[in-house]
Amino acid sequence: MKVAVPKELQEGENRVALIPDACAKLKKAGIDVVIQEGAGLASSHTDHEYTEAGATVESDASTLWANADIVVKVAPPNVDSAGQNEIEMVKSGGVLITFLDPLTEFDRLRKLAAKQVTAVSMEMIPRITRAQSMDALSSMANIAGYKAVLLAATHLPKIFPMMMTAAGTISPAKVFVIGAGVAGLQAIATAKRLGAVVSGYDVRPAVREQVESLGGKFVEMELATGGAEDKGGYAKEMGDEFIRKQREMMTKVVAEHDVVITTAAIPGKKSPVLITADMVKVMPEGSVIIDLAAERGGNCELTQCDKTIVEHGVTIMGPSNLPGTVPFHSSQMYSKNIQTLLLHLVKDGSLNLDMDDEITAGCVVTTRGEVVHPRIRELMQLPELKKPEPAAAESQPVSESSKSSEGDKS
């Protein structure tokens, strides 16, 4: 079983899918790792470290992709300097494990299915106890929440903690975090550690205890929040009237804070606009907004993705890939997610697609020439797939010999 780790092509992507320590552990399980030359350098891992861990270093990207049974990446398939798309580089019948943005990038899924690729989406790992060590979204959200606070502290013309000095007492900065998911809770904890007075808000009232356990004050808003959370633990999209009332109440809260960090995202949907341009006007001069939902349009009306702007005296930042700015530890965490998932999917040298398993069924989005994930098929307006007969073999060796049966896949 050969697992390949190519160099990331996306601009600003400094993470690597597997670190040397993971390669050594996978080798003990009978999985050989081949890494593209220099793939780990941006995350501070040399080729020598990989060879010491038992991995093979390959200089040619085309050879790497062509000989791989499974390719593991961080960013979705991209186009290299020669104009070749990574979707074309993955071999027919092979396996691709990476972030795929599958709830919106349907054309990508169609192309992967057409190539008979088994595509595994890291975004779709179910949020269940058994899959926690594979949950890359949570891993990366932890990093993003931490780094967002550091960005805010750097750009705010104040310091975070209260200080009593001979020159007088310095009041602590006030930080407001909107959205108490993984990123939001980490932002609350980090801001609190830096000495700020921290408040948090979420449409899901159940997270109040979590906010308060980290030393934050939960902001109360008299809104009907029933049904604000889906079964996966994510916030659900709320109606226009709810959003309007929420903005009215939030204007007063925002005006009292030096830093606002927004993390409200809905999987597969545009980010809800929670901070309008008028709300920005009432914020204190020199205050900072860090919008972690920028990639999906942003929670602030004025946010520009991957840009820093100043409007009405307020600095607004919309970073789309904060984990990529902390590549050493981001790679360490993501690598653990990938390693655990590989050990779950590969049994005795073969890819074991047990679609009755909740984890496998949750993250496999294409296989055998079809988009197979029920939720994604519904979004793509595809008919429901018939469940295969029990006698159909789901365990498929990933080898050259498996290519002979590709014509039978449907």
- Shared domain for 75 and 175, answered yes or no, is no
Over residues 223-264, the pLDDT tens digits come to 655 554 545 555 555 657 777 777 788 899 999 999 999 999
Please tell me the total count of domains within the chain: 2
**Distance from the Cα of residue 187 to its chain's centroid:** 16
Catalytic residue check, 193: no
What distance in Å separates the CA atoms of residue 120 and residue 371, rounded to the nearest whole number? 11
Catalytic residue check, 127: yes
- Shared domain for 166 and 233, answered yes or no, is yes
Catalytic residue check, 234: yes
Helix (H) or strand (E) holding 365: strand 364-367
- Shared domain for 156 and 292, answered yes or no, is yes
Q: For residue 401, what pLDDT band results from cuts at 50, 70 and 90?
A: very low
pLDDT at position 243? 74
- Shared domain for 332 and 347, answered yes or no, is yes
Q: For residue 75, what pLDDT band results from cuts at 50, 70 and 90?
A: very high
Where among 325, 343, 372 does a domain terminate?
A: 325
SS3 state of residue 256 = coil
- Shared domain for 314 and 336, answered yes or no, is no
pLDDT at 86 over 60: yes
How wide is the angle at C-alpha 73 spanned by C-alphas 369 and 179, nearest 5°? 100
How wide is the angle at C-alpha 387 spanned by C-alphas 407 and 95, nearest 5°? 50
Catalytic residue among 36, 47, 116, 135: 135
Catalytic residue check, 210: no
What distance in Å separates the CA atoms of residue 117 and residue 97, rounded to the nearest whole number? 10
pLDDT at position 387? 72
- Shared domain for 210 and 76, answered yes or no, is no
Q: For residue 18, what pLDDT band results from cuts at 50, 70 and 90?
A: very high
Domain of 104 in residue numbering reads as 2-134+326-408
Catalytic residue among 138, 186, 246, 335: 138
Catalytic residue check, 339: no
What distance in Å separates the CA atoms of residue 110 and residue 133, rounded to the nearest whole number? 29
- Shared domain for 244 and 291, answered yes or no, is yes
Over residues 357-381, the pLDDT tens digits come to 999 999 999 999 999 999 999 999 9
Catalytic residue among 59, 62, 92, 132: 132
Over residues 166-221, the pLDDT tens digits come to 999 999 999 999 999 999 999 999 999 999 999 999 988 889 999 999 999 999 88
What CATH number does the domain containing 346 carry? 3.40.50.720
pLDDT at 289 over 70: yes
Q: Exposed (0-12), middle (13-18) or buried (19+): which is 216, by Cβ within 10 Å?
A: buried
Within the chain, how many helices (H) and strands (E) appear? 13, 20
- Shared domain for 321 and 394, answered yes or no, is no
Q: For residue 408, what pLDDT band results from cuts at 50, 70 and 90?
A: very low
Over residues 120-154, the pLDDT tens digits come to 999 999 999 999 999 999 999 999 999 999 999 99
Where among 325, 344, 360 does a domain terminate?
A: 325
* Mean pLDDT for the chain overall: 90
What distance in Å separates the CA atoms of residue 203 and residue 207, rounded to the nearest whole number? 9
> Which of the residue ranges 46-55, 224-233, 306-315, 376-385 would you say has the lowest mean pLDDT?
224-233
> Which of the residue ranges 266-270, 307-311, 342-346 would you say has the lowest mean pLDDT?
266-270
- Shared domain for 6 and 127, answered yes or no, is yes
- Shared domain for 147 and 129, answered yes or no, is no
CA atoms lying within 13 Å on the CB side of residue 319: 22
pLDDT at position 3? 98
pLDDT at 92 over 60: yes
- Shared domain for 171 and 304, answered yes or no, is yes
Torsion angle, alpha carbons of 382, 384, 390, 394, to 10? 30
Q: What number of residues does the chain have?
A: 410
Check: CB of residue 277 under 8 Å from CB of residue 302: yes
Q: Exposed (0-12), middle (13-18) or buried (19+): which is 378, by Cβ within 10 Å?
A: exposed
Over residues 145-172, the pLDDT tens digits come to 999 999 999 999 999 999 999 999 999 9
Contacts of residue 292, defined as CB under 8 A and 6 or more positions apart, other chains included, come to 144, 145, 148, 179, 183, 261, 262, 263, 265, 319, 322
- Shared domain for 300 and 348, answered yes or no, is no
